[in-house]
Amino acid sequence: MAAISPFFLLFLIPIVPLSILAILALIVRPRPIKIPIKSRHVFITGGSSGIGLALAHRAAAEGARVSILARSAGKLEEAKKEIQLATGVEVATFSADVRDYDAVSKAIDESGPIDVLIVNQGVFTAKELVKHSPEDVKFTIDVNLVGSFNVIKAALPAMKARKDRGPASISLVSSQAGQVGVYGYAAYSASKFGLQGLAQALQQEVIADDIHVTLIFPPDTNTPGFEEEQKSRPEVTAIIAASSGSMETEEVARKAMDGIKAGKFTVSCNFEGFLLSLATTGMSPQRSFWLAFLEVITAGPIRLIALFFQWDWYKAIEKWSKTKTK
Amino acid sequence: MAAISSVFLFFILFLVSLLIILAFIVRPRSVKIPIKSRHVFITGGSSGIGLALAHRAVSEGAKVSILARSTENLAEAKRSIQLATGVEVATFSADVRDYDAVSKAVDESGPIDVLIVNQGVFIGKELEKQSPEEVKFMIDVNLVGSFNVIKAALPAMKAREGRGPASISLVSSQAGQAGIYGYTAYSASKFGLQGLAQALQQEVISDDIHVTLLFPPDTDTPGFEEELKKRPELTSIIAASSGSMKTNEVAKICFDGIKAGKFTVTCHFIGFLLSIASTGMSPQGSFWLALIEVMFGGLIRLASLVFQWQWYKTIEKWSQKNK
């Protein structure tokens, strides 16, 4: 009798994970989907520089009809020339400030029904909240969050009305600062965390129209915007952000585009980003039962790792503030 | 038998080691926030959860200030508190979207020990049906407004000498932990508070200021009654997963959480599970709660996937019916 128990236990060990996997395969919603790019209309905001421009290059290279929106007509022209030189494709350009709903609406109507909307515009200044002006805080939230609402609202009716044009996609470029709030990024993190709430709710509202929402979480990326930001970011911010490292713009755009095409809800760009996504999955939907399985079995250990990072960060903050008060 | 008892022993040893590690590493350490004789400042304090919190603060011996837009509502709130407790609260009329007005009110009220950022507006509607102005209104009041209040109060809070630990509490919502149908703008504004709180805590910990996020479920306030009449059917179906609570109950639990110096405060059992599911990169000051997060994180993720399955099936069924 005693010999049976350990064998029975051994048999039990694979049964539990296999059952979880089977349950997940049955229940994950929304179901996986692929988003085609070739010959479809891709509309990118903040598309004249940085990640947006790199995404426009990729979309053009993959045979999409591309439109880019930004504020500066000059930069739009330059971007258009650059893409033409590199790919031979002519992109449509639209000049508007995302905070202006009517201007955005006009641009989107002119561009025609959109299949793949990439909401990518973003501004960021790293500064302690006490040093940040109220105007700057409002600017960050207005452009990054309210602006995203304006773009999506303007594009939605035509996206919903498209018939037999296949699955549509609304992608939002967030940031790792939209997964964890970091010293110096109160306003920026707030605006990017907001995109998560928007995306989760929006997916529930548009799934019946075959529209699929994607959130992209780049780390520090070597864009012109980032170079500017680095000059003035607080020391503590730099120390904490170093936990994740930085990436090249083209690499981020490649990962982002692959994620959009794979119809994922959450797209991360490097390994640390992947771990961070597991830690912060929260109430995000998960369309892949394999990733869902990974989330379930790693949730505990990853929370432990997250707590270690917090320990590290708070010790660094304590040490740094002691040197400042001396 | 021996195999099973050694597995059991190993498991207990594992738990104890984990607990010891967590006790060592959890940051920032939890701090008790005293209320008696301290200055509590509550925005959106003339009605709903804010008013109930004001009542509680007064009954615990605090000097209370409430801020809201309508001078009438403020006067009525002041009367109701005086009637119930005999104490006179200070009232300030300002719109949180107006930084200068808020700053003036906060300066007049004097240095704050316990700031409760509670103002909030909510309109449940599909994004398609919502006007851009409504979206902007919710984000301006709930998120930008919160920044204005905190920015206005911070300098004096940091400059207080020897007055003990200070607290900045933000009233969020379960819609700030899970985005649901009909709440794109409201969820966005409340999720934003999480980003604000996590970053802010890192910035103000060395000034002995402690950040708290409060997550009430649907609460039967006057604001909620209004909203119930108009919100989409699907929103109500999904929100029913969590049920609703009475205002005084919510205020009591929230206030206890603020006094305990917790980063995350939930109001009932489902809310507690939701907090574990959505803990993400929130700091955790209690090593017991940290242990629960680590031990049950996986199981709770599984439970939230089951909820998503139910929600999406409901959405599918409902939209087929309504096509």
* ipTM given for this complex: 0.96
B280 in contact with chain A, both atoms CB, cutoff 8 A:
yes
Minimal Cα–Cα distance from A284 to chain B, Å? 8
Interface residue of B24, B141, B203, B293 to substitute, partner A, most A CBs within 10 Å:
B203
Which pLDDT does position A4 carry in this prediction? 59
Minimal Cα–Cα distance from B60 to chain A, Å? 30
Res B82 pLDDT > 70: yes
Minimal Cα–Cα distance from B189 to chain A, Å? 6
Res A13 pLDDT > 90: no
Chain A CB contacts of B185 below 8 Å? 149, 198
**Mean confidence (pLDDT) of chain A:** 94
Put simply, whether the predicted model's pTM sits higher than 0.80 gets the answer yes
Q: Average pLDDT in the B28-47 region?
A: 95
Q: Is A158 exposed, middle or buried (0-12, 13-18, 19+ CB in 10 A)?
A: middle
Q: Average pLDDT in the B98-104 region?
A: 98
Which pLDDT does position A58 carry in this prediction? 96
Res A2 pLDDT > 60: no
Query: Residues of chain A with pLDDT > 90: what percent?
Result: 84
Report d(CA B147, CA B66) in Å as an integer.
17
Interface residue of A108, A159, A198, A313 to substitute, partner B, most B CBs within 10 Å:
A198
B143, B199, B305: residue with CB nearest A28:
B305
- Residues of A that are catalytic: 174, 188, 192
Res A102 pLDDT > 80: yes
- Tell me if A194 and B313 make a contact (CB, 8 A cut-off): no
Could you report the per-residue pLDDT of B255-273, keeping only the tens digit for each? 999 999 999 999 999 999 9
Interface residue of B144, B170, B183, B275 to substitute, partner A, most A CBs within 10 Å:
B144
- Lowest mean pLDDT of B90-94, B183-187, B242-246, B250-254, name the range: B242-246
- Lowest mean pLDDT of A183-197, A252-266, B160-174, name the range: B160-174
Res A49 pLDDT > 80: yes
**Mean confidence (pLDDT) of chain B:** 94
Angle, nearest 10°, between helix axes B184-204 and B145-159?
A: 20
Which pLDDT does position A95 carry in this prediction? 97
B22, B128, B199: residue with CB nearest A181:
B199
- Tell me if B283 and A130 make a contact (CB, 8 A cut-off): no
Confidence of residue A137 (pLDDT cuts 50, 70, 90): very high
Q: Which of residues 183-202 of B touch A (CB under 8 A)?
A: 183-202
Confidence of residue B169 (pLDDT cuts 50, 70, 90): very high
Which pLDDT does position B291 carry in this prediction? 96
Q: Average pLDDT in the B195-223 region?
A: 94
Length of chain A equals 326
Total Cβ atoms within 10 A of residue B318 = 16
Which pLDDT does position A326 carry in this prediction? 53
Which DSSP category does B176 fall into? G
Could you report the per-residue pLDDT of B108-142, keeping only the tens digit for each? 999 999 999 999 999 999 999 999 999 999 999 99
Confidence of residue B218 (pLDDT cuts 50, 70, 90): confident
Query: Residues of chain B with pLDDT > 70: what percent?
Result: 99
Question: Cβ neighbours of residue A244 under 8 Å, at least 6 residues apart?
Answer: A176, A219, A220, A270, A272, A273, A276
Res A6 pLDDT > 80: no
Which pLDDT does position B322 carry in this prediction? 83
- Tell me if B315 and A299 make a contact (CB, 8 A cut-off): no
Q: Provide the token pair at B107.
A: 């300066």
Nearest to B214 by CA among B263, B151, B270, B276: B263
| Catalytic residue list contains B313 | no
Q: Is B230 exposed, middle or buried (0-12, 13-18, 19+ CB in 10 A)?
A: exposed
Q: Average pLDDT in the B288-307 region?
A: 95
B184, B200, B277: residue with CB nearest A198:
B184
Confidence of residue B241 (pLDDT cuts 50, 70, 90): confident
- Lowest mean pLDDT of A97-101, A262-266, B162-166, name the range: B162-166
B155 in contact with chain A, both atoms CB, cutoff 8 A:
yes
- Tell me if B158 and A130 make a contact (CB, 8 A cut-off): yes
Q: Average pLDDT in the B292-308 region?
A: 95
Minimal Cα–Cα distance from A235 to chain B, Å? 12
